[in-house]
Amino acid sequence: MNTRIGVMIPTTLGREKTLEWTILHLLNYLKKPFTVYVYNDITSPLSVRLTRIMKSSKRNDVDIIVLNDRREINTERVGAGGSRHYLFQAMKGKYDVIISLDDDMQITPHWFEHIEEAMNYYPHHSVFSSGMKRPGGAEMIFGAKMEFEGNSLIRKRLRTVYRNFQIADWGPLGCLVLCRKAIEPIINFPKVYTLDDEAFFLELKNKNIHQTIVATNAIAIHCPIPTPSSNQRSNDWVSHSQQYLESAYQITVKLKN
């Protein structure tokens, strides 16, 4: 049976070029049929330019859907977290695997094949991630531990890698693969503007889904670019997200990286 694969990517103003590179890497290195869902968080329409890229690749087994391209959902920015909320709602029940990528996360050759190896090796797990590096190749990240210390939820870097797999509490939403229990109808992407990594970690934990399996031989290249217009970490948006976490999960946390 063919695996139905959906890829969701949030994007916003000023990130059109890096989004194109991320999609080109998908077209080059994700060999199975898939559908890309992009959420346009208040930038110029993307459908025409992205469809053109798809057609030029001659990948007839790939489709693209752009949400909010004409402000049909929102007329104000909702951030990466809000974007993923709408993307996941649109994709629920349609796919066996949902890949969550930032618009500046470029997969490399055999990335998905290595993720599949991890899925087969850990058949009772539902959340997978990969190693990441900067364009120069200097820094490598393999998920993290999430620990409560008092009322603070803290990410702690994993230091040890065992063979090709590592067990983590958390893998970043900018490079995460969901399957099995993690894409069931009861799962929701919290509708927060920012701090969505922590919010989704708590959502899964609340649904008794624990641990992320990191395929350390699958590598994605993270090419971050500053986006002042998105204002992701403004005090107001962080405060709103913290209030959401308290009301949704009955906990009070001060979040820090």
pLDDT mean over 200-208: 93
pTM here is 0.93
User: pLDDT value at position 157?
Assistant: 79
Q: Look at residue 128 and tell me whether its pLDDT is greater than 80.
A: yes
pLDDT tens-digit series, residues 19-43: 999 999 999 999 999 999 999 999 9
User: pLDDT value at position 109?
Assistant: 97
Domains observed in the chain: 5-256 (3.90.550.10)
User: pLDDT value at position 120?
Assistant: 96
Q: Look at residue 189 and tell me whether its pLDDT is greater than 90.
A: yes
User: pLDDT value at position 186?
Assistant: 95
Segment among 71-75, 79-83, 133-137, 181-185 with least mean pLDDT: 133-137
For residues 77 and 15, give the distance between their C-alpha atoms in angstroms, rounded to a whole number.
14
pLDDT tens-digit series, residues 61-76: 999 999 999 999 999 9
Residues of the chain above pLDDT 70, percent: 91
Of the pLDDT bands very low, low, confident and very high (cuts 50, 70, 90), residue 1 is low
100 pairs with which residues across the strands?
8, 176
Q: Look at residue 79 and tell me whether its pLDDT is greater than 80.
A: yes
pLDDT mean over 167-179: 94
Burial class (CB in 10 A: 0-12, 13-18, 19+), 166: buried
pLDDT mean over 201-208: 92
Of the pLDDT bands very low, low, confident and very high (cuts 50, 70, 90), residue 156 is confident
Please tell me the number of Cα atoms within 13 Å of 27 on its side-chain side.
Answer: 20
Q: Look at residue 160 and tell me whether its pLDDT is greater than 70.
A: no
The whole-chain average pLDDT of the chain stands at 90
For residues 143 and 157, give the distance between their C-alpha atoms in angstroms, rounded to a whole number.
7
CA 27, chain centre distance (Å): 17
User: pLDDT value at position 138?
Assistant: 66
Residue 46 CB contacts under 8 Å (≥ 6 apart), including other chains: 11, 16, 19, 38, 40, 66, 69
pLDDT tens-digit series, residues 95-108: 999 999 999 999 99
For residues 41 and 80, give the distance between their C-alpha atoms in angstroms, rounded to a whole number.
8
pLDDT mean over 109-134: 95
